Structure 1
């Protein structure tokens, strides 16, 4: 009897370790620099899996890019500088930094997974410690109080390893949330554009949104602003009359030729959201990167295309997911080993 109980316990221990092996790559992916708290585990926690959703490691999320409180067709007539209604853009995130006891909005971000926010790498140039950051999700008023608003600490900041601040090349980063968000009418992920970026053209309905300045020398706003913009061809935007060839190959322009609709300081990292009627979903076609001033004629906003970084993004999603599974199975093994000792003590 004693040997039988011990054999069963050891079988469970062995099974847990065998289960973790297929998900533990023999060689870690070549990931970008990760900024994490000095104290605490460097392993990502296991993602919460719910029916109808793929694990974080997958390239796509089954349910994404839909705003339950917004009718995409009725909401397409957006005028620049208008206040966005609550729930209109449920994936838009305010990334805030703590200065003493005060938290200030620094950049925008986009919720793409339950624990992942996409943003611009240059947002972290003066504040790379995740301990001083938080993500505010599910609100249009960053200083208001809403029952559906979530304020979540940051576990890690992952910057693209080849980011160059001077030229904004590879201006992309991921914020890994300390806990997964629960989706509701005010909090939803947007779709990543890995298979649809080539559809983007001047007729695609695209939108910008953020809490940045409402004019170049103006003040930031507490209420989320939005505007409709369109894709501007690379030939026009990178011409000598505009940006003169400085736009990176992984970036592009959007706005309007007259400069009436544009992003500004404080909007960096936020999404360029484009609606594709054939999919009936919104996709984050771009990340707000930089521009020459704000709203200047002939100098629209420049956006980095996440579709060019599919491998880098999915590596991180998958790495976090498999690390979470490995952590769970190590803990399971430790618990079962302890159980073996309890059984031995009880039967001696």
Structure 2
């Protein structure tokens, strides 16, 4: 899949000297990147430490080393927009694990961005990212993809209990076919045969881990933020003409 709508993100924090946390994202308009809210916080700090700078790399396939000496677009300050309900009482609420990054200038008018899938979806999806290819492996230098089946509400609830809200989230139920650490913020997408294009159904949020926070990706049942549940929030925070950028017809049935 030539996912030219993908973005590779590096989030920097004052407490991490010469380091960053990496995530994925998607270009949803000529001015905005969609990602996960948890990609913008360092959870090793109490209270959670919000990033001060995000570097956005576009149209890259290989990220280690970064191909073609690609230069990032830098996003800072109020242009880093996690959902206001993500940190509730200082603790993360993953039902609202969604965020926007506003670029400093418009992308070219012919730039490829992804449509957002508005209806509730049940079926096969494809996840894209640079995460681990196995629980014990390292993050991938090149973009990877994996296909899986979306679970029913009962299947996802049985796996996650109170951490799962079917109204705001979906999960994958195919063993050994799952996202892993490093895929956070990236998209899960559906290929629409009628329109011959991909549209984004979810955002990679979290998955199973052991007591020492080691990934257990082969279990499947990773959880994804449901884009359709946040359609209005995305529109209100990125689509107004006064805020810069265009207002694309996001809904792709």
Q: Which of the five TM-score ranges fits, normalised by the shorter chain?
A: 0.7 to 0.9
Match of 2:75 among 150, 154, 169: 154
Distance in structure 1 (CA, Å) of the matches to 2:143 and 2:109: 20
Cα deviation code 1:309-330 (max 9, x no counterpart): 12111111234x21459xxxxx
- The alpha-carbon deviation at position 246 of structure 1 amounts to 2.7
Q: Which has the higher contact order (CA 8 A, sep 6+)?
A: 1
Q: 1:162 to 1:114 in 2, by over 3 A?
A: same
Are residue 188 (structure 1) and residue 112 (structure 2) matched?
A: yes
Distance in structure 2 (CA, Å) of the matches to 1:101 and 1:181: 31
Map of 2:101 onto structure 1? 175
Contact preservation (8 Å) 1:119, 1:269: yes
Cα deviation code 1:81-116 (max 9, x no counterpart): xxxxxxx11111111134789564511111101111
SS for the counterpart of 1:252 is: strand
Q: 1:323 to 1:136 in 2, by over 3 A?
A: closer
Distance in structure 2 (CA, Å) of the matches to 1:188 and 1:101: 35
Cα deviation code 1:175-228 (max 9, x no counterpart): 1111222266xx52110112xx23x222x4x21111112222321122111112
Map of 1:243 onto structure 2? 160
Distance in structure 2 (CA, Å) of the matches to 1:139 and 1:183: 19
Match of 1:135 among 46, 53, 56: 56
Contact preservation (8 Å) 2:9, 2:24: yes
Match of 2:182 among 266, 270, 278: 266
The unaligned stretches of length 5 or more in structure 1 are: 1-69, 71-87, 326-348
SS for the counterpart of 1:307 is: helix
SS for the counterpart of 1:238 is: helix
Are residue 111 (structure 1) and residue 34 (structure 2) matched?
A: no
- The alpha-carbon deviation at position 305 of structure 1 amounts to 0.9
Are residue 301 (structure 1) and residue 222 (structure 2) matched?
A: yes
Q: CA RMSD in A?
A: 2.5
Distance in structure 1 (CA, Å) of the matches to 2:218 and 2:84: 32
TM-score by length of 2: 0.79
Distance in structure 2 (CA, Å) of the matches to 1:281 and 1:179: 26
Distance in structure 1 (CA, Å) of the matches to 2:27 and 2:230: 16
Structure with max Cα Rg: 1
Between Structure 1 and Structure 2, which shows a larger proportion of helix residues? 1
Map of 2:133 onto structure 1? 214
Are residue 288 (structure 1) and residue 210 (structure 2) matched?
A: no
Map of 1:233 onto structure 2? 152
Map of 2:66 onto structure 1? 144
Contact preservation (8 Å) 2:130, 2:139: yes
Aligned pair count? 224
Distance in structure 1 (CA, Å) of the matches to 2:173 and 2:27: 22
Between Structure 1 and Structure 2, which shows a larger proportion of strand residues? 2
Contact preservation (8 Å) 1:92, 1:111: yes
Q: 1:183 to 1:254 in 2, by over 3 A?
A: farther
Runs of 4+, deviation exceeding 4 Å: 98-105
